[in-house]
Chain A
Amino acid sequence: MNENIQTIKDPIVTIKNLSVAYDKTNFAVKDVSVEIKKNSVTAIMGPSGCGKSTLLRALNRMHELYENIDTTGSVFLNGDNIYEMSTIKLRRRMGMVFQRPNPFPTMSIYDNVIAGYKLNGIHMKKTDRDEVVERSLRDVALWDEVKDSLMKKGTFLSGGQQQRLCIARALAFGPEVILLDEPTSALDPISTNKIEDLLSKLKENYTIIMVTHNMSQAARISDYSMFMYLGELVEFGKTKNMFTNPNDKRTEEYLTGKFG
């Protein structure tokens, strides 16, 4: 199987023998090893239940919030073992965007963007805060649309705008990696388009790892792709190569629509 997993020079994230089990025996992720290239968009694809979201959430140790989940193996971020740093530090270096837009309903748009700093108790001068908010909102192409309503609560925004707000919130303190869990599956096609363009631009400054159940989305914007099936990493390589010339039979069957 190893020949189906491409190696990366100077990877930013290295995953070694990662396994995640629910209730001790139900393995959602089985012994995955892969490297992620810096400043790229890496897509994680596979049919429902293949473990892609579970794998993603292991990267920022979200599983530790829930008791019945066990994780083994190791993950390195720029050479640092993520299990040897505090979760607080880790999650500032790896931000996350969820499937359903979830801006904090009791905070204004402004406060939502800056929420990372506020929650972490970091005090900044007002001018610095304003700068961070404007920069993050510009980065997600939302600034012009909301600059006059920054103090309003974010719930009046459309789904696509809310999701961009969530991305801005994750970007606000400059993480190295952004993890996205099916970020556009709850959105309409136009918003999806906007966000895909956004992600392609963002990779200049960030590394994007994105779970998607939409193959054409992976084909459109990702540089590298992982194909997972029943918890195993079946194949990993340059997206173009995988789509035109898949190495594993299962990959080929998935890409040609033989199973969902």
Chain B
Amino acid sequence: MQAYTEIDNSKARSSKNKVFQYMVIAFSVITISPIVLIIYKLIAEGYKQLSFRFITENTPSTFEAMTAIQNNELIPGGIANGIVGTLIMVLMASAIAIPVGMITGVFLYENQGKRYANFTRNISDILQGVPSIVLGLISYMWIVKNVTNGFSALAGSVALSIMMVPMIVRSTEETLKMIPIAIKEAGLALGVPYYKVILRILIPTGFSGLFTGILLAISRVIGETAPLMLTALGSSVINTNVAKPTSAIPLLIWEFYNDPNMIGLIWSSSLFLMIIVLILNTVSKQIMAKRNK
């Protein structure tokens, strides 16, 4: 009945199987080790400098920092200018990206399968892949050169918003797609006009998904440095004029890195930034988990 010579290879195969399993486990451990190492470094080096002062005071001058180091003291000052700058730019970027992203997302949702919609979706996906430095350069050409005639918070916000739009488009479309179509039809069947079905029924129903999409987009851009280098430039004081250069937390980290006197501040600033990112991610995960129950 057998068309082959019976070789019992089952022992060899079983051991190969076990070895492979151990390799998978080993490699997975190696994969997560950087996160452990990085967070450890951030906490170990950064906690010393963190304080209420840190959040409320502006960055010290390089002279002040040098004096403190010579006297073996903690460097004075903080990153308040960066925090405010990041806040302003992220808010402005969201103000642009959320409506643009969501309405485009609704458009894609309502036109599934149509060629033009697919084309638009592809363009959005391509935009998502554009490196952030290129977006910074674009915003430099459009805003810095033509609108604000100089580096500005507005330019920074525009660069960040272009980054956020494709992410929000995608998460809006996906969230809406997951709503059972019966709900939309029930609304229409009651004679509710289409735009009201969208605004009053679909969006509230999908709110948790839409919200997490926005939170994730924010957490993605909040740590971006490169585009801001070409647009917001940085500032040593808090600045609320959006047509003027402004600071941001990642920009400050870059400045500290480049100044030998300020090195002591890089870890605390990075730790602070990471904590914000972590909070945003955790909140998103919680919301998603609740919604899946």
Contact = CB atoms under 8 A, between A and B. Distances in A.
Q: Do chains A and B touch in the complex (CB under 8 A)?
A: yes
A174 B1 contact: yes
B3 A132 contact: yes
A88 B14 CA distance: 9
12 contacts: A86-B10, A86-B11, A86-B14, A88-B14, A89-B10, A120-B13, A121-B9, A122-B7, A128-B3, A129-B3, A132-B3, A174-B1
Contacts of A86: 10-11, 14
Given A88-B14, A120-B13, A174-B1, 12 more contacts: A88-B10, A88-B13, A89-B10, A117-B4, A120-B9, A121-B9, A121-B13, A124-B3, A124-B4, A128-B3, A128-B4, A174-B2
Nearest to B16: A121
A152 B13 CA distance: 30
Nearest to B11: A86
A59 to B, nearest CB: 19
Contacts of A128: 3-4
Nearest to A135: B3
A122 B5 CA distance: 9
Interface string B112-138: 000000000000000000000000000
Interface string A166-183: 000000011000000000
A89 B8 CA distance: 9
Contacts of A88: 10, 13-14
Q: Which interface residue of B1, B3, B10 has the most chain A CB atoms within 10 A?
A: B3
Interface in A87-130: 88-89, 117, 120-122, 124, 128-129
A197 interface: no
A122 B4 contact: yes
Contacts of A120: 9, 13
B13 A173 contact: no
Contacts of A117: 4
6 A-B pairs with least C-beta separation: A174-B1, A88-B10, A128-B3, A124-B4, A132-B3, A86-B10
Contacts of B1: 174
A131 interface: yes
B9 A173 contact: no
A204 B11 CA distance: 32
Interface in B224-268: none
Nearest to A89: B10
A128 B11 CA distance: 25
A131 B10 contact: no
Contacts of B2: 173-174
A117 B13 CA distance: 13
